[in-house]
Structure 1
């Protein structure tokens, strides 16, 4: 009789065992990632997929040094670093990079080059070319510098979202920052005082480029208010009806709280936006965001573009090896793709 009792007990247990097995099978099925999940992955996950599919071409980059290297400089590179740093960490884990900010100064191209010459950095990033005096300072210290272009960037102009102005010519933009144009009514806008904002040209490469190429070397007017960062500049424009601020296009165009103003290269020329038309209104952002007009940057129809550089010390040291490795990664097909994803124009 005992065997019969065990058989009955087993018969009672079988439905439960079957149900448990079914649950395990269903859980295993639903826990598998969907093929579409990649569309919602973060940048880090995208980089992993990117590396796997491009391993062959990356293998050609053989001179990547091992070690920890400091670099710094231009804040224009911030959108690119967000893409590039995880890519390098996953692809070349022994090539460790640390962005190094100055202790008592605002980060920027000029400060980065200064830190490079002082031996604090292995290489630096710059949104402007080297100056003759920087070459001279390097030579006095027994250092040779080389600037290597890696991308093209557009400079965009931000205004308050409610400002009714079609656009500005490069000449008008320069006159505003010199204090020669002081009211928006002088350029087809409302009767409203203009309040220009900028980062200091003594520290940042973008204002230096602006002074040389938009203002023809003239000084900023007394009305210009200086800010420490692009974030601070955009906040000022957001709260100032007549305000305007310029910076790298990837830092301005996608923002919700400001409007990007189209520019024209000369009087009578068509205004060209730094964004892809039509303009996405602030009220529709962030559900929709303005996208960069990379086609106009590449063709040159947008009138305010410049090259971005990596500055390398030419002395046969591991610092030079690190700078050249960083440049080689940026100039590789994978690096140029990351440059485009960050909103810049590839040059290869």
Structure 2
């Protein structure tokens, strides 16, 4: 009888410890571009930490919505927070912390059979605005252009719209998808397609395009080296966002991310470390 009671007490203690560890689970959500990065970081961090992570993508906007609704502790974003988002999250006692943890080279991709190997930013603007609608207008095959775009929750979409296109796109030649992987998949099988994705998502089934700011500038390929040297014109920062009230809970993981080990993991996954 004594052994049975002792067994129950030990089992209860283990259950109590498990409950404590379960309570330390950290929810993170946001940028689809950052998913390979955050999964690699959390997997390595979990090896020496009691904390566990729930990692979800869906787009930068969903990360900020999660913070606003107190559904997550850490938002992932491939764009800077909008003032309206920040105002909806913050109050007088709880401010938002912004941390640049890496950089990405937003890559323009086309079907491997496409003869076009380089484009200028003004040409990209005309493609996305529907002013250039056939590859023959750029010296390529007589083939209609189909733009594969991310949805409006995506930070990549916001970057393209605000920094590159600088205006509204033409929806007549645009197919909207919900992830970087879907962009790559569509561009790989549709001969007239053009799309954009994070550098970590580039595969051999698509062809990255070299980009120049203007026709008078050198065309730069979206490689790790060119992005690291700040030569590639479509580079952008990647952010962590979290509340001051969660700073203590997240400080160990954030410090790991910014450490030499964390930055090596970031570089190994194809992203650009913070120098």
TM-score class, shorter: 0.7 to 0.9
- Aligned residue in 2 for 1:134: 85
Identify the match of residue 165 of structure 1 among 106, 116, 127. 116
With structure 2 as the length reference, what TM-score do the two structures score? 0.87
Identify the match of residue 334 of structure 1 among 248, 261, 275. 261
Shift of 1:228: 1.9
| 3-state SS of paired residue (2:165) | coil
- Aligned residue in 2 for 1:91: 48
The Cα offsets for residues 116-151 of structure 1, whole Å up to 9 and x where unpaired, read as 110000111111111111122123586421211011
Shift of 1:170: 1.2
Shift of 1:325: 2.7
| 3-state SS of paired residue (2:52) | strand
Verify the 8 A CA contact 2:67 2:89 in the aligned structure 1. Answer: no
- C-alpha distance in 2, partners of 1:301/1:207? 22
Shift of 1:242: 0.8
Gap change, CA 1:141 and 1:121, over 3 Å in 2 = farther
| 3-state SS of paired residue (1:270) | coil
- C-alpha distance in 2, partners of 1:139/1:88? 28
- Aligned residue in 1 for 2:179: 229
- Aligned residue in 2 for 1:146: 97
Q: Give runs of ≥4 in structure 1 deviating > 3 Å.
A: 139-143
- C-alpha distance in 1, partners of 2:118/2:169? 21
The Cα offsets for residues 316-342 of structure 1, whole Å up to 9 and x where unpaired, read as xxx332333322111011101111101
Q: Is 1:346 paired with 2:273?
A: yes
Identify the match of residue 312 of structure 1 among 220, 227, 242. 242
Shift of 1:100: 4.0
Bigger radius of gyration, 1 or 2? 1
- C-alpha distance in 2, partners of 1:146/1:110? 16
What is the aligned length?
252
| 3-state SS of paired residue (1:214) | helix
| 3-state SS of paired residue (1:173) | helix
Shift of 1:294: 1.8
Structure 2: gaps (5+ residues): 1-22
- C-alpha distance in 1, partners of 2:210/2:29? 31
- C-alpha distance in 2, partners of 1:325/1:211? 35
With structure 1 as the length reference, what TM-score do the two structures score? 0.69
The Cα offsets for residues 39-86 of structure 1, whole Å up to 9 and x where unpaired, read as xxxxxxxxxxxxxxxxxxxxxxxxxxx821111111111221342122
Verify the 8 A CA contact 1:170 1:263 in the aligned structure 2. Answer: yes
Shift of 1:155: 0.4
The Cα offsets for residues 181-233 of structure 1, whole Å up to 9 and x where unpaired, read as 111122222221110011112x11111111110012x1121221101222222
The structure richer in strand per residue is: 2
